[in-house]
Amino acid sequence: MNSQLIAQAGVFARKLLPLQLEKVSAGFPSPAQDYIEKTLDLNELCVRHPSATFYVRAAGDSMRGVGIFPGDVLVVDKSLAARHGDIVIAIVDGEFTVKELALKPRPALLARNPSYPPIRLEAESQVEIFGVVTHAIRDFRANK
């Protein structure tokens, strides 16, 4: 099972590309050679603070309205200070939940699905913001 994975994933493609180009040096040098820097890496786009970034998997449909569906992988940056309107992972009654943080007019955790009521944040309520969700990654082919 694992050997299939390796064959598909193109582990070596990235490393082989520059090598192939160097081989043509016997003839006319490739005009692209000087322009090869590196391939794009999704980490650069999604992970600003590697030591504080964690991945979690979404379950439930209370955040459909912002485009978070069950099975999505969420990128969570714990180093960011949560602001009004951020999608956050909050700890409510000892459990993780994904919600939108509202600080105005009153502090609350909002679902983005009309069938879920908001969670009011009172002064005495024990809510910790675990981190800010910066990206969601969906596999469109999964479960088909």
Partner 1 sequence: MNHLFALVDCNTFYASCEKIFRPDLDDQPVLVLSNNDGCIISRDRVAKTLNIPELVPFFQVKARVEQLGCHVFSSNYELYGDISARVMAALAPYAAALEVYSIDEAFLQVRAKDYQAHGTAIKDMLWRDVRMPVCVGMAPTKTLAKLANRAAKKIPRLNGVCVLDTPQKWEWLLARIPTKEIWGIGSRLSERLKMLNIHNALQLARAEKKWLRKKFSVVLERTISELNGHPCLDLDLEPAPRKEIVCTRSFSYKITRLDELQQAIASYASRACEKLRMQQGLTQNIWVYLESFDRQVGYFNRQVVKALPHLSNDTRQISQVGQQAIAELYQPGLRYKKCGIGLLDVRTQTYEQVDLFNPQQTERSRALMTVMDNINHRYGKQTVQLAGAGIEPKWSMRREYMSPRYTTRWSDIPVVKC
Report if residue 124 touches partner 1, rule: CB under 8 A.
no
63 residue type, one letter: M
**Count of residues engaged in binding partner 1, rule: CB under 8 A:** 35
Of 89-108, binders to partner 1 (CB under 8 A) are 89, 91, 94-99
Long-range residue pairs from 58-61, CB within 8 A, at least 24 positions apart, any chain: 58/98, 58/136, 61/113
In terms of Cα–Cα distance, which of 35, 31, 36, 39 is closest to 13? 39
Is 58 among the residues that bind partner 1 (CB under 8 A)?
A: yes
Task: Check binding of 56 to partner 1 (CB under 8 A).
Answer: yes
CB 66 within 8 A of CB 88: no
Cβ distance to partner 1 smaller for residue 33 or 57: 57
CA atoms within 13 A of residue 125's CA, in its CB half-sphere: 14
Minimum Å distance from CB 29 to partner 1?
26
- Give the integer Cα–Cα distance in Å for 63 and 59: 10
122 near partner 1, rule: CB under 8 A: no
Active-site residue flag, 99? yes
Backbone angles phi, psi at 31, to 5 degrees: -65, -15
21 or 127: CB nearest partner 1: 127
Q: Which of 3, 62, 78, 79 is catalytic?
A: 62
Task: Indicate which residues carry an active-site annotation.
Answer: 62, 99
Residues within the interface to partner 1 (CB under 8 A): 2, 5-6, 11, 49-52, 54-63, 68, 70, 73-74, 78-79, 89, 91, 94-99, 111, 128, 130
